Structure 1
């Protein structure tokens, strides 16, 4: 019998924890809840990493941003940030430090469940790709991607960057379709498992973060170029080594 997908809810609001535990459990998930960073770390030490973490921004002690950064040092577990509805800054910061998606409060449990399922589908698609079907390394421009370690390495100065799950998915999308214009919905499906929302800033943040990693964040980027009104394109040669 297949075990349930495990979700860890981190929120200091007891009512929200109880609501999410009840709703997500009825949706077939295994759910654990903790109220702050101290209990989060204790849970991870005792139980290991779950399949997905719902992480509130406003927490006593270490806030959600700090905890997200701490988690990313050790794991690429999918993280959905729970942010204030009116604060776009929270949403952007969360994505910049490695969160995979965000849901603004107040939210409906049904909306949140849909986001969870979409993100888990994206992760499952990535995991279903057998290791022997992926190139061991992919060279593009002055960089090489280690597909097993999820790490990019500069060919000249050996600068290295580890990639979060969504960053890796975004880069793999471009590397699998070089010199092809990719629209925002295509990018959102690859990184979040869902269509892009109207006026959503998340894709812009992810692209900006990846460009920064590549040293390609100037006015005229050489790697990922913007095709105004159409999407984005990887404009450097790509080679694969199996």
Structure 2
């Protein structure tokens, strides 16, 4: 939990040395333990090191391999929460980062206070603190969600989800058969208001659809309700 005695240990990977140091100093004052990396290889080596991190703040633009390359490599075997730093207006980087498994993003130049707030939201999800909504075991069709272990299985086979994907699925399954608005998803799962032109939720849902596969009728478990939100289907209602 966020109130534990040990500080949350954060890896901040950004090649702008001065900016990284400024952000580290602020985050340290906010109660985080922060380690810096200034290129892709150093970031990967740090994550693969003996002492684990609670989250990674990862700049898209790194020398050598990009931050997206780093994220792609990490997601082969790691669910470490990742917050991407993207250039202002670079929507394609944000979408690609989310598709590769980033939990959230923040545009640069970023406000250090917003960065700290986004980090805390990502960590709450990773630690199973879901905004006060009850978390229980759930079963919908062939999808099983276990609250205590924060694990998901489809037809009995485990499915690897990020913390954000897990909480999004839990919310949709709790409300199975009912529409969940994008505004509620953003507040409950991402911990922030839904912004204009924000496609984060759409990409997370797309990732979930791919990982869960189709229901028994050959269609996706999750239906898009135009201009409203999403619905986890109950086949016995169709």
Which interval holds the TM-score relative to the shorter structure? 0.7 to 0.9
**Contact 2:145 2:170 survives alignment (8 Å):** no
Partner of 2:176, secondary structure, is: coil
**Contact 2:59 2:85 survives alignment (8 Å):** yes
Matched, 1:63 2:73: no
**Contact 1:53 1:79 survives alignment (8 Å):** yes
Deviations 1:82-122 (A, max 9, x none): 11112100000000111000011111212212211222233
Comparing 116-125 and 60-69, the one that deviates more: 116-125
Query: Structure 2: any 5+ residue segments left out of the alignment?
Result: none
For residues 22 and 62 of structure 2, what CA distance do their matches in structure 1 show? 18
**Contact 1:121 1:193 survives alignment (8 Å):** no
Number of aligned residue pairs: 228
Matched, 1:79 2:79: no
TM-score (norm 2): 0.83
Q: CA deviation at 1:237?
A: 5.3
Would the alpha carbon gap of residues 144 and 111 (structure 1) be closer, same or farther in structure 2, given more than 3 Å must change? closer
Partner of 1:92, secondary structure, is: helix
TM-score (norm 1): 0.82
**Structure 2 counterpart of 1:141:** 141
Q: CA deviation at 1:30?
A: 1.0
Matched, 1:206 2:207: no
Comparing 12-21 and 107-116, the one that deviates more: 107-116
Over aligned residues, Cα RMSD in angstroms? 2.8
**Structure 2 counterpart of 1:7:** 10
**Structure 1 counterpart of 2:233:** 235
Matched, 1:192 2:190: yes
For residues 221 and 79 of structure 1, what CA distance do their matches in structure 2 show? 30
For residues 47 and 22 of structure 1, what CA distance do their matches in structure 2 show? 24
Q: CA deviation at 1:49?
A: 2.4
For residues 130 and 220 of structure 2, what CA distance do their matches in structure 1 show? 30
**Contact 1:122 1:193 survives alignment (8 Å):** no
Matched, 1:150 2:151: yes
Matched, 1:106 2:109: yes
